[in-house]
Structure 1
Amino acid sequence: MDVITHFCKIYTDICQISPVDLEGVYADDILFIDPITTHRGIEEVKNYFANLLTQAESCKFDIADIFTCSKQISSRHSNVTHVVNWTMTLVLKDNAKKITLDGSTQLSVRNNFIIYHKDYYDLGEMVYEHVPILGFIIKKIKGKLAK
């Protein structure tokens, strides 16, 4: 199985991911970036997922598109070989509210391992809009900007 197919398979439900799954997809020197933080190396990525799994009731990705870059896109850290568009559905254990979020991921593959993973999504939509008072304020601001 190629690494992109394996990536898509394990991200179907990341609450089912094991450290072995991560080691089968990500290189030892993976650079994993999301809007919250940056993780360097497979051990940091495994710790990140272990923490996520303690908080998530479920976290599923519906992968809509996978684009292979015919001309590699150069980023600051690596050459992007694939772009993945997805919709994430997240339910946290301490809050049964379902959060649905669209995003994209840039990936760089070398020797059938992902060496670079960068997620793009609206952090406000994922986190801030679900904080009671802050969420109300952000939604009001968005509404005014949309007019």
Structure 2
Amino acid sequence: MDVIERFCNIYIDICQISPDDLESIYAKDVVFVDPITTHRGIDAVKHYFSNLLTQAESCKFDIADVFHCDGNNTARTQVTHIVNWTMHLTLKGNNKHITLDGTTQLNVVDDRVAYHKDYYDLGEMVYEHVPILGFVIKKIKGKLAS
């Protein structure tokens, strides 16, 4: 099984893994970027996931597409794969369910992910679920859409 298959299997339900399982897909010096922050190195990524696992009741990803990208560039951030997904997140305590579409860019080097960058709407994931602020953001989106 190659790293992309292992990646997809781990992300089916990340609440069913241990942070140590991430070593099977990520390089020791991985750079992991999301709309909130950047994590450098496998230990930082494992810490990030450990924190997520304490807050999530369930976190499943439906992976819709995996595209292989050809290129000559050997830069660390070269994109070798693009993954489109829908995340289904249920937080502990309040049973709040969040569904979010996103895309991940990956750079695979020596059968490990060396670079991982997530793209998603942070407002849809976080801000729209905050009382009052969520109402305001949804109203603004509605005005912009009309």
Instruction: Tell me the TM-score normalized by structure 2.
Output: 0.96
Runs (4 or more) in structure 1 with deviation over 2 Å come to 70-75
Instruction: Give the whole-Å Cα distance in 1 for the aligned partners of 2:128 and 2:113.
Output: 32
Structure 2 counterpart of 1:80: 79
Partner of 2:64: 64
Alpha-carbon distance in 2 for matches of 1:73, 1:63: 26
* Residues 136 and 41 of structure 1, relative CA distance in 2, 3 Å threshold: same
Structure 2 segments unaligned to the other structure (5+ residues): none
Give the alignment of 1:64-143 within 5 angstroms: 64-71=64-71, 78-143=77-142
Tell me which amino acid in the other structure corresponds to 1:38.
Answer: T
Which piece of structure 1 moves more, 134-143 or 11-20? 11-20
2:130 partner letter: V
Query: Aligned partners of 1:72, 1:95: CA distance in 2, in Å?
Result: 48
User: Take 2:37 and 2:145, find their aligned partners in 1: how far apart are those partners?
Assistant: 29
**Separation of aligned partners in 1, 2:40 and 2:16:** 22
Percent identical among aligned pairs is 71
Q: For residue 138 of structure 2, what is the amino acid of its counterpart?
A: K
C-alpha contact (below 8 Å) 1:31/1:41 kept by paired residues:
yes
Q: What runs of 5+ residues in structure 1 fail to find an aligned partner?
A: none
Native 8 Å contact 2:20 2:46 kept in 1 = no
Q: Which residue identity does 1:91 align to in structure 2?
A: T
- AA of the residue aligned to 1:110: V
Structure with the higher strand share, 1 or 2: 1
Task: Indicate the SS of the match to 1:71.
Answer: coil
Which residue of the partner structure matches residue 33 of structure 1?
Answer: 33
Equivalent residues, number: 146
Q: CA deviation at 1:71?
A: 2.8
Relative to structure 1, the CA distance from residue 54 to residue 26 in structure 2 (aligned partners, 3 Å threshold; closer, same or farther) is same
RMSD: 1.4
Separation of aligned partners in 2, 1:127 and 1:74: 35
2: CA distance, partners of 1:74 / 1:23 = 23
Residues 24-75 of structure 1 deviation map (CA, whole Å, 9 limit, x = unaligned): 1000000000001110000000000000000000000000000000236788
Amino acid at match of 1:31: V
**C-alpha distance in structure 1 between counterparts of 2:139 and 2:114, whole Å:** 40
Inter-partner Cα distance in structure 2 for 1:134 and 1:65: 33
CA distance in 1, matches of 2:145, 2:121: 16
Amino acid in the other structure paired with 2:57: E
**Partner in structure 1 of residue 23 of structure 2:** 23
